[in-house]
Amino acid sequence: MSQANSMGAVALGREIARGNVDPVDLVAETLDAIANHPFGDRIYARTTPERAMAEATAARERARAGLRTGPLDGVPTSWKDLFDTAGTATEAGSKLLAGRVPDADAQVLQVATHAGTVCIGKTHMTELAFSGLGLNPSTASPPCINDHDAVSGGSSSGAATSVAFGLAAAAVGSDTGGSVRVPAAWNDLVGLKTTSGRLSLQGVVPLAARFDTVGPITRHVEDAAVLFATLAGVKAPDLRGADIAGRRFLVLNTIAMDDLSPQSDAGFESSVKRLRDAGAIIDHADIPQVADAMALSGVLYAPEAYGTWRDVIEDAPDKMFPPILTRFRGGRDFTAADYVKAWQDLDRLRAEFAAMTAGYDAVILPTVANLPPNADRLLNDPDYFTAENLLALRNTRIGNLMGGCALTLPTGVASTGIMFLTPHGDEMRLLRLGAAAEQVLT
């Protein structure tokens, strides 16, 4: 593990500003750590050494001149391999896109680069981002930080493990049904699902564009807040004085508490107790609209994903991992009328959910119901793959369906998280709330 990268992204930026860390030395150390790590090639699809050293050199000059462009100027950041990088392959974990080299950076990468972050490399991911497990025999399957025989969660698998193993100070992933939050939770990290449309998807390889979002995976809430603000090109939220006392939380009973692993249950319940002991007000409720929305998942996700990729997939289906191919093809038989009606129904359910939860600071639930499954068993047992994948994404998908933003924090029980859901566009308040909760939970 890179010792510098283990301290967190914002703390590392402060050390650069103080002159205690040289960005060039830091990037060289990080690249060396990746090259020599036993899981380096399972975490990174490719590093970008020339770009990283050039960006680090510029960051060093700005730091020496007192002209740093932001709190993450000079900080090594990894990027999921679906964010376009000019002149560097961006293949979205799929042999279907092998050799795809974009001419320009994704817009969020452009913004981050202008703010001084250093692109250290591209991380492995689930094929075309369509699974929550992180198993990808076509490229690589990063291991979980807590169990190297288990998957790390997906689809931002390498993004999370690049941070967990100390091979990046922060990571940028994407979340369509849980792809930031599942790997963050399974690797004891912080993960932010942003509101759909809050961050640009220009130059991001799509899965289901109406659900696709960009989000950070980090060690601390402060890091997530600053990286989010950096990507958005706005001022970071002020997290000072954040306090959990008097905050009102609603535990979602509907679906979210079913079939939890003992560890997931224990992590969530201990977190709720600590929040309550710190002065938070905790209520519980069933919200039937959640079940109704979950029933729409099949017609909302797979048809858009299949419609986006049908021609590419059917031109060479043998290049795909069969369970992922099956997931895509699950969307081919729905009609346009089915899809339009499902979105109309979801819009109504979202409004009703928002009205029912308006009196609370956040809805809370376990981030993931299950623990990271064994990679070999997933590879050899298609039924097990399907069951574990659906369970892994079940709770996180609630956040995507309800249309808000969501934050997962570690509970202190390995590979478990607690998730906070807040309304559409409410990232700044959510991050301040997360900072308050983090003080209680760590």
What residues are annotated to the active site? 80, 155, 179
Q: Cis bond leading into 415, ω under 30°?
A: no
- What DSSP element (H or E) covers 387? helix 382-402
324 vs 304: CA distance, rounded Å: 15
Q: What are the φ and ψ backbone dihedral angles of 409, each rounded to 5 degrees?
A: -125, 150
Order of all β-strands in the sheet with 76-80: 44-47, 118-123, 76-80, 170-175, 213-218, 190-193, 405-410, 417-422, 362-366, 248-252, 281-285
Q: Is the Cα dihedral 160, 164, 168, 170 positive or negative?
A: positive
- Pairing verdict, β 417-422 and 362-366: antiparallel
At residue 183, the 3 state secondary structure works out as helix
CA distances from 226 to 46, 96, 433 (A): 25, 35, 15
Interaxial angle between packed helices 262-277 and 427-441, expressed in degrees from 0 to 180 and rounded to the nearest 10: 90
Amino acid at 213: T
For 8, other C-beta atoms within 10 Å of its C-beta total: 19
What is the CB neighbour count within 10 angstroms for residue 139? 20
User: 374-387 burial by CB neighbour count: b if 16+ within 10 A, else e?
Assistant: ebeebbeeeeebee
Q: Counting beta carbons within 10 angstroms of the beta carbon of residue 318, is it exposed (0 to 12), middle (13 to 18) or buried (19 or more)? A: exposed
The alpha-helical segments, DSSP class H, found in 96-145 are 107-114
Question: Which residue is listed with tokens 């001022």?
Answer: 235
Helix (H) or strand (E) holding 42: helix 40-43
3-state class (DSSP) for residue 425: coil
Rounded CA-CA distance 68/359 in Å is 41
Tell me the backbone φ, ψ of residue 296, rounded to 5 degrees. Answer: -90, -5
